[in-house]
């Protein structure tokens, strides 16, 4: 199924082609097709670097540099990427004979082209990073004004809490704890993207993930996502121990229901959820610790899922009272096996 990453690339390459066409129009260039090809390959090179597909270690090192050094090295890197993209696109244009001149003349980058490409690249990177900061779905919804008026909708919520973050901060300090949490959340990002979830918020050491109801229950997607998150964290257990002294441990809760979604704020806009569903999910996550369970799911959500994924079992735990809620909630514990055969409960202990 086509995912968010595919559409991000389609958007970037289309914007890059459009930037090339605009440049061709501004300078009265002889070939719109050639300009679009130059734009596509220049944009592709920069995007590949930004998404960590090329030079990922250098990019990670670069982001750890002081601001002044980061800006200088980033600009130098973009210049190299623009020259590379221009050379690839120019080679194709030369082979197709879309422009007159020798290969060297066509692939050469003039100062005017370089300045224009740097300006366009800066705008594209800013938009992409804003999208990453807000979340793809939130960014699109804000741009479209979908929640300018409150909307009632049904969603599945997955709350994933990192266990032991307070103790880690007391032992290693707040800065080290934040680095630890940031690395854990980064590792969770790919399974969430793969299962088409949206990270709505990070609240301290807790990540809130959601799906529209139909998408979340389809093929038990919300449960598969959590299983993949746990397997991803466990797979790199040795790296966690080497870098941070201990592996990450998580607790999670799954619940679904009707909520009201609205865009709020004046100077800073945010898409927020209102209603009992999210409160119940939060209380359910707190119930995990009380019951000594790592993953709880509401019986109402479990009933909506046609079949559990192979190897995952649900253990009914009966009705439980939740703080701030008069009506008891029927819950079940999920047993999630990891790739190595170790269960999440065993890993947490």
Asked if 281 and 215 sit in the same domain, the reply is yes
Choose the final residue of a domain: 134, 169, 196.
134
pLDDT of residue 12 exceeding 90? no
Residue 284 falls inside a structural domain: yes
Q: What is the mean pLDDT of the chain?
A: 83
Question: Domain check: are 167 and 70 in the same one?
Answer: no
Q: Are residues 217 and 317 in the same domain?
A: yes
Q: Which of 134, 164, 191 is the last residue of a domain?
A: 134
pLDDT tens digits for range 277-331: 988 999 999 898 889 899 999 999 999 998 898 889 999 999 888 877 778 889 9
Range of the domain at 192: 146-348
What CATH number does residue 304 fall under? 3.30.70.1230
pLDDT digit string, tens, across residues 143-153 = 666 677 888 88
Shared domain for 91 and 192, answered yes or no, is no
Q: What average pLDDT does range 202-208 have in this prediction? A: 90
Classify residue 56: in a domain, yes or no. Answer: yes
Same domain, 232 and 313: yes
In a domain, 140, yes or no: no
Q: Look up tokens 């003349």; give the residue.
A: 105
- The 10 Å CB-count burial string (b at 16+, else e) for 192-215 is bbebbbbbbeeeebbbbbbbebeb
Q: Which of 134, 157, 184 is the last residue of a domain?
A: 134
139 in any annotated domain: no
Same domain, 88 and 202: no
pTM given for the model: 0.68
Q: How far apart are CA 54 and CA 80, in angstroms?
A: 13
For residues 113 and 164, membership in a common domain is answered with no
Residues 122 and 151 in one domain: no
Whether residue 150 is found in the same domain as residue 237: yes
Does a structural domain hold residue 126? yes
**The two three-digit tokens of residue 80, written as one number:** 């190299």
Number of domain units in the chain: 2
**Is 1 a residue whose pLDDT tops 50?**
no
Q: Is residue 323 part of a domain?
A: yes
Q: What is the mean pLDDT of residues 204-226?
A: 92
Residue 33 domain flag: yes
Give per-residue pLDDT as tens, 25-80: 888 777 899 999 999 999 898 888 877 788 878 876 776 677 677 777 878 888 88
Provide the pLDDT for residue 346: 38
The answer on 152 and 115 residing in a single domain is: no
Name the percent of the chain lying above pLDDT 90.
28
Residue 338: the pLDDT is: 55
Exposure of 84 in the CB half-sphere (CA atoms within 13 A): 14
Let me know if residue 263 belongs to a domain.
yes
Q: Give the separation between CA 345 and CA 250, rounded to whole angstroms.
A: 9
Looking at the structure, tell me whether residues 261 and 187 fall in a common domain. Answer: yes
One domain for residues 24 and 162 = no
């Amino acid at each position: 199924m086509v995912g968010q990453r595919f559409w991000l690339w389609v958007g970037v390459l289309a914007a890059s082609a459009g930037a090339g066409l605009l440049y061709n129009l501004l300078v009265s260039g002889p070939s719109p097709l050639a300009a679009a090809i130059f734009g596509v390959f220049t944009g592709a090179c920069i995007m590949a670097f930004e998404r960590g597909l090329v030079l990922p270690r250098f990019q990670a090192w670069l982001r750890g540099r002081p601001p002044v050094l980061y800006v200088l090295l980033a600009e130098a890197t973009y210049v190299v990427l623009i020259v590379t993209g221009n050379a690839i696109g120019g080679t194709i244009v030369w082979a197709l004979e879309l422009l007159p001149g020798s290969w060297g003349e066509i692939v050469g980058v003039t100062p005017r082209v370089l300045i224009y490409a740097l300006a366009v690249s800066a705008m594209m990177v800013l938009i992409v990073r804003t999208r990453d900061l807000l979340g793809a779905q939130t960014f699109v919804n804000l741009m479209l004004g979908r929640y300018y008026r409150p909307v009632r909708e049904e969603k599945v919520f997955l709350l994933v809490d990192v266990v032991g973050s307070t103790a880690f901060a007391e032992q290693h300090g707040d800065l080290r704890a934040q680095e630890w949490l940031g690395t854990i959340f980064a590792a969770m990002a790919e399974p969430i993207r793969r299962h088409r979830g949206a990270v709505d918020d990070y609240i301290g050491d807790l990540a809130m993930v959601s799906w529209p109801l139909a998408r979340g229950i389809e093929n038990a997607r919300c449960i598969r996502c959590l299983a993949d998150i746990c397997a991803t964290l466990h797979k790199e257990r040795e790296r966690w121990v080497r870098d941070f002294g201990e592996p990450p441990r998580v607790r999670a809760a799954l619940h679904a229901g009707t909520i009201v979604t609205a865009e709020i704020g004046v100077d800073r806009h945010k898409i927020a959820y209102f209603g009992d569903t999210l409160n119940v999910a939060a209380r359910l996550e707190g119930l995990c610790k009380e019951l000594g369970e790592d993953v709880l799911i509401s019986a109402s959500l479990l009933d909506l899922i046609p079949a559990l994924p192979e190897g995952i079992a649900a253990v009914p735990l009966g009705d439980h009272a939740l703080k701030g809620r008069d009506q008891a909630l029927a819950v079940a514990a999920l047993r999630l096996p990891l790739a190595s055969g170790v269960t999440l409960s065993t890993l947490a202990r």
